[in-house]
Amino acid sequence: MNKIKLGMVGGGHGSFIGAVHRKAAALDGYYQLTCGAFSSRPSIARETGAALGLAQARVYDSYTDMFRQESARPDAERMQAVAIVTPNHLHAAPAIAAMKKGFHVIVDKPLALTLDEAKKICQVMHETGCELALTHTYAGYPMIKEARHLVQTGKLGRIRKIQVEYPQGWLSSPLENEGNRQASWRTDPACAGAGATGDIGTHAAHLAEYVSGQLISELCADLNTVVSGRRVDDDAAALLRFDGGASGALIASQVAAGEENNIRLRVYGELGGLEWCHRNADTLLLNLHDQPARIYRRGSAYLSPAALNNCRLPPGHPEGFIEAFANIYSSFARRLHTPATERLSSDACALGYDYPSINEGLRGMAFIEAMQASAKSTQKWTAITL
């Protein structure tokens, strides 16, 4: 398999998520970083490119320059896909511009700033025939794949209850007023759109839908801004109704002091329940009614192919965030290397490309808008509509 020539928009020196994307792309050897428009500040862009060992001619001052010049290069040289790792308000424009030049797109979540922007990305994707992957990282964990498999194969019976929570504590104080760059843009409504709802709530909502196989149809939300003076929500909760008949609850808080990133999912069916948490990501708990509790461990031979195909190490050697991120990149690479006629197969897992795409991106934006509308409304339930 030839390496996919990858470009990057954003991710300059000091960027957290840019470095994560580069490590994930490199892990399985499917990609080669060949160019980048790493920063709106030329000096930072050049410094980043030099540190990454890129030729000066492949480091650009803007993504428009990069797309224009890369599209003019010979096939053997030019970029084939681009990773967009900018703040939320700078997702849509480069994604659309890239696809119009024939480049596939990998974009950090949420897909865009608004649902309207997301719909425009979707339209251009279908017009150009380009592909798009969305980095909902937690879907890449092997034991999340196993949890989904157990639900799909009826191990829990009909799903009744879905609970997901994502507590963080890093924004418990007003870091945006103390020069913290991450906090500054993530709490700026012009850059982030939503606060905790968009930043981590979309992760929680996607995880609930991905594992359960049911889509959130309605929600009843409560959004709060706990830190005085903050302009976006930093604490969110919602009751959920799913299209398969299940009910549930979601909590996403960035002011849960003392917490890190311990996203936790519990799914209950008529025969039993399962539980996964990020702090112990190699473990999946299965509790069937009137039976001893079962502990599933990553890498073990008894797991499903969906889980084992996303493992790299034997049991007992922990895998984590970078590996889960890399599973999305690698699945997308296999997709791009699959002939277009074969991509129509409904069994994406069998073909090795199970990753979040445009549909999940649209649903994430619809979830954000429904949460905001519900929180402002006196009506109990708000429908999620695309």
Q: To the nearest 10°, the Cα dihedral for 313, 317, 322, 325?
A: 50
In whole angstroms, what is the distance from residue 195 CA to residue 231 CA?
8
Q: What integer pLDDT is reported at residue 351 of this predicted model?
A: 55
Q: Which domains does the chain have, with CATH numbers?
A: 4-130 (3.40.50.720), 142-311+357-376 (3.30.360.10)
- Mean pLDDT in the chain? 95
Looking up tokens 């990609």, which residue turns up? 31
pLDDT digits (tens, 9 = 90+) for 238-294: 999 999 999 999 999 999 999 999 999 999 999 999 999 999 999 999 999 999 999
Q: What integer pLDDT is reported at residue 353 of this predicted model?
A: 81
Query: Is the pLDDT at 72 greater than 90, yes or no?
Result: yes
Region of poorest pLDDT, from 63-77, 87-101, 312-326, 345-359: 345-359
Q: What integer pLDDT is reported at residue 32 of this predicted model?
A: 98
The pTM (predicted TM-score) of the whole model is 0.95
Looking up tokens 């470095």, which residue turns up? 19
Nearest residue to 194 (alpha-carbon basis) of 261, 112, 134 = 112
Q: What integer pLDDT is reported at residue 344 of this predicted model?
A: 56
Q: What integer pLDDT is reported at residue 346 of this predicted model?
A: 45
In whole angstroms, what is the distance from residue 25 CA to residue 67 CA?
20
The sign of the dihedral angle between the CA atoms of 72, 75, 81, 84 is negative
Q: What integer pLDDT is reported at residue 14 of this predicted model?
A: 85
φ/ψ of residue 214, rounded to 5:
-110, 150
In whole angstroms, what is the distance from residue 42 CA to residue 45 CA?
5
pLDDT digits (tens, 9 = 90+) for 363-381: 999 999 999 999 999 999 9
Which ranges of 163-256 does DSSP label H, i.e. alpha helix? 181-186, 189-192, 196, 202-212
Nearest residue to 333 (alpha-carbon basis) of 350, 353, 348, 351 = 353
The pLDDT of 355-366, averaged and rounded, is: 98
Query: Is the pLDDT at 354 greater than 50, yes or no?
Result: yes
Q: What percent of the chain has pLDDT over 90?
A: 95
What burial letters (b/e) apply to 116-152, b meaning 16+ CB within 10 Å? ebbbbbbebbeebebbbbbbbbbbbbbbbbbbbbbbe
pLDDT digits (tens, 9 = 90+) for 137-183: 999 999 999 999 999 999 999 999 999 999 999 999 999 999 999 99
pLDDT band at 339 (very low <50, low <70, confident <90, very high): confident
Partners of 221 in beta bridges: 238
138 with 207: CB under 8 angstroms?
yes
Which three-class secondary structure string do you get for 265-314?
EEEEECCEEEEEEHHHCCEEEEEECCCCCEEEECCCCCCCHHHHCCCCCC
The pLDDT of 200-209, averaged and rounded, is: 98
pLDDT band at 341 (very low <50, low <70, confident <90, very high): low
Q: What percent of the chain has pLDDT over 70?
A: 97
